Structure 1
């Protein structure tokens, strides 16, 4: 067997795009989407593991290796309603998916090898699993291969949302709708979308405020309706305050707020605080209009039904009889295309260098 070169997970030649912080353990690196030292402050009632799920995170490098191996440890996903999330990782070469790998996901060390790559210098991205915690131990390349840092710089996009934005239901990590938008628009994605935890928390607003960005977006409403975290009036106030906090360090950055996509089983059903999904859409639009009247001309509203509405209900992940909320594999590309078109209509999309 040919001798290989091992690149440790903490080697500075590797770049963890989309990670907010990196946790270092004995022989491994784990990307987080909040500052991991203060994760409990972001999710004090539990669910911290969602912040350690590397949705949108990719390990990148430049190499001419014909083979790429990965030594890792992945943990099982939580039990979810409807079809379960598969532990998949995408190998992307110069923007094209070359392989989708099914990961071993039992909390034990494992390894995979992808072969047949062209022997010329290219940017390689490993898109990490959306719903499974992941620790990188090392990458493995050909002994004679060149390995270099991925120094490309693209406009930075920070997106906040629920499990719909985290990527539930996509075929694989690079095929979630935020990943597709980022690829088509040439954006550097950081996703701070947390399933069942998109309730306009002040700590999340502070995080979004402090991250560098040339584009800010959020999809809000569905978790607030389901969990009853805000009364109708408090939802509007919380959304205004959330945007105001982000604006402390991003006063003019284009910022698009999208309301909830179609939720057939919740549209007119009141949640614990009395809000229906339709109410959440109305209040999201009204909050944006209020902020624009007070001078925020770079804040824009996107109606979730224009992006993924009743005609797309058949593309939802969950079958009839379950709470239908998430786009399935065929739905993510539709949502991506419509969302990007809405951003372009609002003149929000930064132009890559």
Structure 2
């Protein structure tokens, strides 16, 4: 009688784990990186000095990685993202859901929902090309997020994404620019513009802020940029942070500070988009939305009269006006302020057209 043959055990190659601080990962669009025990949190302000930028609060929004993408090159046909995401802030209107977009060679491959209990979690994404390609993970725009690492298929190759430098775009705005209402992180209006134009976006858009904080002007001054844009007015009018004359003075000072580092860079100042419930209603400082736009236009004209010919005023309703009201979020009992998921692509297309017409496009 022959001996029974034992099955041959083959060792399967282990999946490839990449830590959050692996030098092959690039955190594009982040201003600073906070490192913790086994995690990295991208911030859109210098995190150690964030309280100097927003002394009135709202620091959590600076830790929400709107426009930030983790990039690498790999031939892995799938990946697992290990992360921590915090619950969303209490917002007026519908709750924003945490999502992660995977973009391969400029095309969105997948959108994955994320858990937001603040503890360790992971999400798997299949369907990557399976050849050496640039992979971008667009992080959630309205949730704090900490990357713990990535897991790729066994035997995969991984490289740092060392693509040539794209024109750098720095944008300052409110929750309208941070992404409220967008379908997913790579489909906010700013992300859509950057992806279509091939720009390297750094978004300084902060919900419930954007009141021409001097520290933000200093940051924009010091960041590299081939295009500068700001979208101001909605929170200035709604919160009453400036009256008429103070708004003009603050905007002049803000632009002049930025100009210390970018004397000739194309710079567009956009007043806020249509706000149906606020156009003719005075805010705490007495300005209606229409009056607020008029003073923003006056500040830009004053600066141009004093020699800043590469500064341009963009009228918000020209980009997203009353005819787009049906594309605004309609939270029950609240003002309509933010583009809906269908509105963000329209916003992106029209703003690009206006920038090209003004000669701002790098």
Task: Please show how residues 40-51 of structure 1 align to structure 2 within 5 Å.
Answer: 40-51=51-62
Counterpart of 1:40 in 2: which secondary structure? helix
8 Å CA contact 1:55–1:131 kept in 2: the answer is yes
Which of 143, 148, 152 is matched with 2:154 structurally?
Answer: 143
Q: What does residue 125 of structure 1 align with?
A: 136
Give the whole-Å Cα distance in 1 for the aligned partners of 2:13 and 2:349. Answer: 44
Tell me what 1:11 maps to.
22
Q: Give the distance between the partners of 2:104 and 2:116, measured in 1 at CA.
A: 24
Off by >6 Å, runs of 4+ in structure 1: none
Q: CA deviation at 1:83?
A: 1.2
2:3 maps to what in 1?
none
Whether contact under 8 Å (1:56, 1:190) holds in the other structure is yes
Structure 2 length normalisation: TM-score?
0.95
1:194 aligned residue (196, 200, 206): 206
The counterpart of 1:342, out of the listed 354, 357, 361, is 354
Which residue of 231, 245, 249 corresponds with 2:243? 231
Q: Could you say which structure has the larger radius of gyration?
A: 2
CA distance in 2, matches of 1:2, 1:255: 52
The whole-number CA distance in structure 2 between the counterparts of 1:4 and 1:108 is 23
Is structure 2 residue 112 aligned with structure 1 residue 101?
Answer: yes
Q: Aligned match of 1:71 in 77, 82, 105? A: 82
- TM-score scaled to structure 1, two decimals? 0.98
2:169 to 134, 157, 168: 157
- Per-residue deviation at 1:2? 6.2
1:15-30 matches, within 5 Å, as 15-30=26-41
| Stretches of structure 1 lacking an aligned partner (at least 5 in a row) | none
**Number of matched residues?**
350
Partner SS state of residue 182, structure 1: helix
Say whether 1:288 aligns with 2:300.
Answer: yes
Q: Secondary structure at the match of 1:274?
A: coil
Q: State the alpha-carbon separation in 2 of the partners of residues 143 and 209 from structure 1.
A: 44
Report the Cα distance in structure 2 between the residues aligned to 1:327 and 1:97, rounded to whole angstroms.
21
Whole-Å Cα distance in 1 between the matches of residues 274 and 48 of structure 2?
A: 36
Render the CA deviation track for 1:12-51: whole Å, top value 9, x for unaligned: 1100000000000000000000000001111112111010
- For the 8 Å contact 1:83–1:318, the answer to whether it is kept is no
CA-based RMSD of the aligned residues comes to: 0.9
